[in-house]
Chain A
């Protein structure tokens, strides 16, 4: 991206040319990938022309002015349809921009379009999009992961240089892993969710997806920051980072939790992650075996809390204020018919589950219990970070599975086995490629840090990326 920014600055290339290039690529690839729900050709070209005019005046908004981006379709864009991958919002055009979209525009980034996702971001394969399933660019018979599968696939296939995704239980990191790109779920509170269509507000974060660690760090610096319109936004949210080539801090402690390398992990994924860990060790890191035994509860805790919050968040789709309506003679029937037909099967499943665990007779045994187990998970993770600087694990137990392979919803939920913990605890977690399996499918490695430690996460990811490329980093 730095190269592209340099070319723009030197006048070697215009934003219009870059945007047209990506639009051509989209036209060429969309037939097989399905990464976009809406391509905003006119809007992107108009923004590119405005960017070129600013360059001519010598007044670019940022070094990245004119470099386009794709945005997941659950993030509101003024005047551009935002569907959440649902029939319910098929024709919804927001009257405002999400905070992150305003920030992208302030930096001068033209928006190429809105990327495909599992309906209301519920899913791990992007097969639950109400419109079309996204295909993995590395193997079209396989899923790109989800729910930010459209953003990850678009970046992987070169339809966009970078993209925004959202992550509630792994929805940025798991598709980044499956598509061979870099994705970050930031610390809770670091990126404003104003204008993000809520799924589970105590877990949701918006984050960057890019082709390499450096680009992801740049994009993250553009979207991080406090915002009074999001009550969970932190005053420490801002992020600036100059990635350093050296030196690697000797003695940096990396925790390796045994629970993430156990049953269910594919041997090829394990091998690739272990290889990356030895590379870090060779650079001077100290690998510390740790235990995160509460991770065995992470999926069920996550599912209970996410479903409960989703059932509440999605109560607003009632056929009155936005989206579709199925007419009926009385309001209750209108609500029921609208919601029954507007939502797809996975969304209804989670609303049912969430309503069940929140209902008076089950609240204590299920929801309250999950909230308390969440505390135990938090306590264990906090203890771990007193001992180590980072925790490294595989991002997913396997590489990309086949479209249609996971028919049972519980099986699907298990692909979040290694990612849900970061959402439950609010810590930052990044996925980056660390190799290919024997079928040529990308393998993802996850780096987790303690709250607001994205700088350390990115820096180590950057060193590792160089080491894996065979780069010659001194070990300082």
Chain B
């Protein structure tokens, strides 16, 4: 069984607040997933590299020209807290109001 502390550490890395029930649930789910995937880890892969692209892809290049794009107002319109076209977040530096 994966330890509770490990679940808490992963949740912290993922920036997820979990309640007690969820912690217990994911402890169980992660454990079960890792058990079911055990056979995957026994496959001999010493002869191959990992796949990151399944088709041949050329990195597309374009001229560095100014093109039409979203306005600042449109680009920020979906934010939950926007002031004058800027995203507003809680204070990130301590000691000042």
Chain A residues within CB distance 8 Å of chain B? 92-96, 187-189, 202, 228, 231-235, 296-297, 300-301, 303-304, 311, 315, 318-325, 327-337, 339-341, 343, 345, 348-349, 351-353, 355-356, 359, 365-366, 368-376, 378-379, 409-410, 424-426, 451
Which residue of chain B is the closest to A343 with respect to CB atoms?
A: B16
Contact present for A304 and B37 (CB under 8 Å): yes
Given A322-B78, A369-B41, answer yes or no on A331-B92 (Cβ-Cβ < 8 Å). Answer: yes
Given A330-B91, A330-B92, A356-B10, answer yes or no on A373-B45 (Cβ-Cβ < 8 Å). Answer: yes
Given A348-B18, A352-B11, A352-B14, answer yes or no on A451-B55 (Cβ-Cβ < 8 Å). Answer: yes
Contact present for B15 and A339 (CB under 8 Å): yes
Contact present for A375 and B51 (CB under 8 Å): yes
Q: Which residues of B contact A365 (CB under 8 A)?
A: 41
Contact present for A234 and B55 (CB under 8 Å): yes
Chain B residues within CB distance 8 Å of chain A? 7, 10-11, 13-19, 22, 25-26, 29-30, 32-33, 36-37, 39-41, 43, 45, 48-55, 57-60, 62, 70, 74-81, 87, 89-92
Contact present for B78 and A323 (CB under 8 Å): yes
For B57, give its contact among A231, A301, A348, A409 (CB under 8 Å): A231
Q: Which residues of B contact A355 (CB under 8 A)?
A: 10, 13-14
Which residue of chain A is the closest to B56 with respect to CB atoms?
A: A234
Closest 7 A-B residue pairs measured CB to CB? A371-B50, A426-B54, A340-B17, A372-B45, A325-B80, A322-B78, A336-B17
Contact present for A337 and B17 (CB under 8 Å): yes
Q: How far is the CA of A345 from the CA of B18 in the complex (A)?
A: 10
Q: How far is the CA of A340 from the CA of B20 in the complex (A)?
A: 12
Which residue of chain A is the closest to B74 with respect to CB atoms?
A: A95
For B70, give its contact among A96, A304, A451 (CB under 8 Å): A96
New A-B contacts (11) at CB < 8 Å, excluding given A325-B81, A425-B54: A234-B55, A297-B40, A320-B80, A320-B89, A325-B80, A337-B17, A355-B13, A365-B41, A372-B50, A378-B54, A410-B33
Which residue of chain B is the closest to A332 with respect to CB atoms?
A: B15
Contact present for A321 and B87 (CB under 8 Å): yes
Give A444 Cβ to nearest chain B Cβ, in Å.
23
Q: How far is the CA of A366 from the CA of B43 in the complex (A)?
A: 12
Q: What number of A-B contacts does a CB cutoff of 8 Å give?
A: 164
Given A297-B43, A340-B16, A426-B55, answer yes or no on A327-B89 (Cβ-Cβ < 8 Å). Answer: no
Contact present for A188 and B80 (CB under 8 Å): no
Give B42 Cβ to nearest chain A Cβ, in Å.
10
At the interface, is chain B mostly helix, strand, loop or mixed? loop
Q: Which residues of B contact A327 (CB under 8 A)?
A: 90
Give A136 Cβ to nearest chain B Cβ, in Å.
27
Give A271 Cβ to nearest chain B Cβ, in Å.
29
Which residue of chain A is the closest to B32 with respect to CB atoms?
A: A410
For B90, give its contact among A92, A330, A369 (CB under 8 Å): A330
Q: Which residues of B contact A340 (CB under 8 A)?
A: 16-19
Q: How far is the CA of A173 from the CA of B11 in the complex (A)?
A: 33
Given A323-B80, A359-B13, answer yes or no on A371-B51 (Cβ-Cβ < 8 Å). Answer: yes
Give B27 Cβ to nearest chain A Cβ, in Å.
10
Give A453 Cβ to nearest chain B Cβ, in Å.
12
Contact present for B90 and A334 (CB under 8 Å): yes
Q: Which residues of B contact A228 (CB under 8 A)?
A: 60, 62
Q: Return 15 A-B CB contacts under 8 Å, by A number.
A: A93-B77, A95-B78, A202-B52, A228-B62, A232-B55, A297-B39, A321-B78, A322-B80, A332-B15, A340-B16, A352-B10, A371-B50, A376-B45, A424-B54, A451-B55
Given A228-B62, A232-B57, answer yes or no on A372-B48 (Cβ-Cβ < 8 Å). Answer: yes
Contact present for B92 and A339 (CB under 8 Å): no
Contact present for B48 and A318 (CB under 8 Å): no
Contact present for B62 and A300 (CB under 8 Å): no
Q: Taking each of B16, B43, B58, B90, which has the highest tally of chain A beta carbons within 10 Å of its own beta carbon?
A: B16
Which residue of chain A is the closest to B19 with respect to CB atoms?
A: A340
Q: Which residues of B contact A425 (CB under 8 A)?
A: 54
Give B1 Cβ to nearest chain A Cβ, in Å.
14
Which residue of chain B is the closest to A317 with respect to CB atoms?
A: B15
Give A274 Cβ to nearest chain B Cβ, in Å.
29
